[in-house]
């Protein structure tokens, strides 16, 4: 068996891997010290583009246009960059076995990789309807979206089923972003989800009401409170209809499913401590196994601000956790220490001409403020979350860069607030004066 040996190995070649590579280069990494092993065929890229500009019918984003680190305003790391830095990229290489005691990884094509320090950056995979036995869920033209290959297959189907009918299963991030993308591609879109309103993990009913009306105005039909229980297919095996639990049957040429993600920790099961579905780390992203770090979607880390261990499945944390882990590795090699990770949660999304940002924690009471009329030419509204008399979270649709900075600051500073009615009427002005 071919064996290769590196000082540092990153398993996974997504967002966190790319930002880790840049940090290694900044801190000084020698030729041949670092390897990235990815089952994808391309160098690390900004995954959020896949559900947005990549699906645009006009001048869509394509690689190499969105390799990391362009998403945060940095230099684009093209495959040549890794070559110049002497960082080895093993692409189309899936690790199928990890031995953390023997410090060895084995790939599906029979390569063996030895490391001194391992960074686990395997991210998440999609939850499939077939995982819970939904009948007919393996029909053709039922899509999931995680990697660039998935997006390419979806684009082929959009071309083949021009002006056809699309059903979106799920009302979370993928549901809302893909519902918009398919509508922009002139498909007739219906969304289905079990909850009383979309994105219940984050949105209040007030926030969701805006997006649901906005989508309805764009011609998207929304069916709530039920789930897909089966699919019909034609003799070619292509999906033709989605059967719902409430008995409704929806015709469909294309189905996109976004019913959640699952962190990819299976390789390391039983070898490393886990918590809340992820690999448990400290504030430097060190796991319970010496010289093994975990970053991005797979890490359950101490969120200092809330004194609680959490997992975060968003790109800002993937970038920052990767940078923190590499800084910690380099500092410990020099006998130095760095501050623990002190993260302010930040999530965002874009769909149609809408764009929102959220900072902090969505717990406690909430107030809605601003112009949340979906028919306004430029709606701008938001929400604050208030816990123990302090503002702990803030959401803003349609904010300018300065306004987004102001809501981030509020979530970080956590100012006291006595009167919720007054807070609602002050709205954005409250954040701007902090
Ligand atoms: P990521 O998933 O980026 O990378 C993991 C990598 O590991 C992949 O390349 C995978 O192939 C590889 N891998 C896994 N197992 C392996 C194995 N055994 N061997 C080799 N390689 C292996 N967030 C946000 O804040 N705003 C947004 O707008 C979006 N938009 C968005 C769109 C879409 C379509 C998705 C799927 C996700 C988002 N996100 C997002 C979430 C964000 O992209 C996500 O949190 C980060 O990509 C996580 O980065 P990681 O590096 O942890 O995983
Ligand atoms: P999600 O957790 O955001 O949403 C899952 C949704 O699936 C739920 O809200 C629910 O409506 C629905 N659901 C659950 N079971 C269902 C069923 N049986 N039938 C129909 N609907 C069902 O997950 P997602 O939207 O699939 O996103 C996957 C991952 O990608 C997540 O990690 C997410 O954070 C990430 N992502 C993030 C962004 C962003 O931050 N802008 C964008 C896209 C994807």
Helices 173-184 and 205-217 sit at what angle, rounded to 10 degrees?
A: 20
Q: What is the pLDDT of residue 427?
A: 97
Residue from 150, 154, 170 to probe ligand 2 pocket by mutation (most atoms less than 8 Å from CB): 170
What is the CA 393 to chain-centroid distance, rounded? 19
Across the range 49-73, mean pLDDT stands at 97
Cα distances (angstroms) measured from residue 40 to each of 43, 95, 181, 217, 414:
8, 11, 24, 38, 41
Gap from CA of 30 to ligand 2 centroid (Å) = 40
Are 9 and 115 within 8 A, CB to CB? yes
Q: What is the pLDDT of residue 2?
A: 76
Q: Return phi, psi of residue 287, to 5°.
A: -90, -170
Across the range 16-37, mean pLDDT stands at 98
Q: What is the pLDDT of residue 387?
A: 98
In sequence order, the β-bridge partners of residue 303 are: 308
Q: What is the pLDDT of residue 258?
A: 98
Question: Which tens digits make up the pLDDT trace of 162-188?
Answer: 999 999 999 999 999 999 999 999 999
Residue from 11, 15, 261 to probe ligand 1 pocket by mutation (most atoms less than 8 Å from CB): 15
Q: Is 15 in the pocket of ligand 1 (CB under 6 A)?
A: yes
In sequence order, the β-bridge partners of residue 45 are: 67
d(CA 345, CA 341): 12
Percent of the chain surpassing pLDDT 90: 99
Q: Does the pLDDT of residue 364 top 70, yes or no?
A: yes
What is the CA 140 to chain-centroid distance, rounded? 25
Are 344 and 351 within 8 A, CB to CB? no
User: In 61-107, which ranges are E strands?
Assistant: 88-90, 95-99, 104-107
Query: Which sign, positive or negative, has the C-alpha torsion 277, 280, 282, 284?
Result: negative
Across the range 143-156, mean pLDDT stands at 98
The ligand 1 atom nearest the CA atom of 44? 9
Residue from 47, 120, 144, 351 to probe ligand 1 pocket by mutation (most atoms less than 8 Å from CB): 47
Looking at residue 374, the DSSP 8-state letter turns out to be T
Ligand nearest to the CA of 108: 1
* Alpha carbon nearest to ligand 2 atom 38, residue: 173
Question: Which tens digits make up the pLDDT trace of 295-337?
Answer: 999 999 999 999 999 999 999 999 999 999 999 999 999 999 9
d(CA 135, CA 286): 42
* Alpha carbon nearest to ligand 1 atom 31, residue: 48
Percent of the chain surpassing pLDDT 70: 100
Mean pLDDT of the chain: 97
Complex ipTM: 0.98
Across the range 56-61, mean pLDDT stands at 97
> Is the previous residue joined to 64 through a cis bond, with omega within 30 degrees of 0?
yes
Question: Which tens digits make up the pLDDT trace of 68-80?
Answer: 999 999 999 999 9
Gap from CA of 369 to ligand 2 centroid (Å) = 26
Q: Return phi, psi of residue 108, to 5°.
A: -60, -30
d(CA 298, CA 280): 9
User: Which residue from 56, 84, 78, 57 is spatially nearest to 66, judged by alpha carbons?
Assistant: 78
CB atoms inside a 10 Å sphere around CB 181: 28
Q: Does the pLDDT of residue 1 top 80, yes or no?
A: no
Q: What is the pLDDT of residue 256?
A: 98
């Amino acid at each position: 068996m071919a064996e290769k040996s590196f000082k540092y190995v990153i398993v996974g070649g997504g967002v966190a891997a790319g930002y880790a590579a840049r940090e290694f280069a900044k801190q000084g990494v020698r030729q041949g010290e670092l390897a990235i092993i990815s089952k994808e065929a391309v160098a690390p890229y900004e995954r959020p583009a896949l559900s947005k500009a990549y699906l645009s019918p006009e001048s869509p984003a394509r690689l190499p246009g969105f390799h990391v680190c362009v998403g945060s305003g940095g230099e684009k790391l093209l495959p040549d960059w890794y070559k110049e830095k002497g960082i080895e990229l093993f692409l189309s290489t899936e690790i199928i076995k990890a031995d953390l005691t023997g410090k060895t990884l084995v790939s599906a094509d029979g390569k063996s990789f030895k490391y001194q320090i391992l960074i686990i950056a395997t991210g998440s995979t999609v939850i499939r309807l077939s995982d819970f036995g939904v009948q007919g869920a393996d029909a053709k033209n039922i899509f999931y979206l995680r990697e660039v290959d998935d997006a390419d297959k979806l684009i082929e189907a959009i071309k083949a089923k021009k002006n056809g009918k699309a059903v979106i299963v799920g009302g979370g991030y993928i549901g809302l972003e893909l519902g918009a993308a398919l509508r922009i591609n002139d498909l007739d879109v219906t969304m289905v989800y079990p909850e009383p309103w979309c994105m219940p993990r984050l949105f209040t009913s007030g926030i969701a009401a805006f997006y649901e009306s906005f989508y309805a105005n764009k011609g998207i039909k929304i069916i709530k409170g039920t789930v897909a229980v089966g699919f019909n297919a034609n003799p070619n095996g292509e999906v033709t209809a989605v059967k719902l639990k409430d008995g409704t049957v929806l015709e469909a040429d294309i189905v996109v499913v976004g019913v959640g993600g699952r962190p990819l920790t299976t390789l390391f099961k039983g070898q490393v401590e886990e918590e809340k579905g992820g690999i448990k780390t400290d504030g430097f992203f060190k796991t319970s196994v010496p010289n093994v770090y975990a970053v991005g979607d797979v890490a359950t880390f101490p969120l200092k601000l809330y004194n609680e261990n959490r997992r975060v499945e968003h790109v800002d944390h993937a970038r920052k956790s990767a940078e923190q882990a590499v800084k910690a590795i380099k500092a410990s090699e020099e006998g130095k220490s760095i501050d623990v990770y002190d993260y302010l949660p930040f999530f965002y999304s874009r769909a149609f001409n809408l764009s929102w940002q959220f900072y902090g924690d969505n717990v406690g009471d909430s107030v809605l403020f601003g112009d949340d009329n979906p028919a306004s030419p430029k709606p701008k509204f938001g929400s604050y979350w208030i816990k123990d008399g302090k503002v702990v979270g803030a959401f803003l649709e349609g904010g300018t860069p300065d306004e987004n900075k102001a809501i981030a600051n509020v979530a970080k500073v956590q100012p006291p607030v006595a009167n919720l009615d007054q807070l609602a009427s002050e709205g954005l002005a409250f954040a701007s004066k902090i």
